[in-house]
Amino acid sequence: MITGQTGTEPIFQGAADFDLELIGSRTLDGRSLELSYRPTLHA
């Protein structure tokens, strides 16, 4: 769950459910990862 700064109100409140498919990843500086996801509506 992703929440607002106070953690009391969800940022995506009321949004549809969706799944994330990992479509790519790469190491940027030996410590940080860049991850790319494709969202699809959850059936």
- Please give the average per-residue pLDDT across 10-15, as a whole number: 76
- Per the CB < 8 A criterion, the answer to whether 25 and 36 are in contact is yes
Q: Is the pTM of this model over 0.85?
A: no
Residue 12 in this model has a pLDDT that exceeds 90: no
pLDDT band per the 50, 70, 90 thresholds, residue 17? confident
Q: Give the SS3 label for residue 40.
A: strand
Q: Quote the strand ranges of the chain, DSSP E.
A: 18-27, 33-41
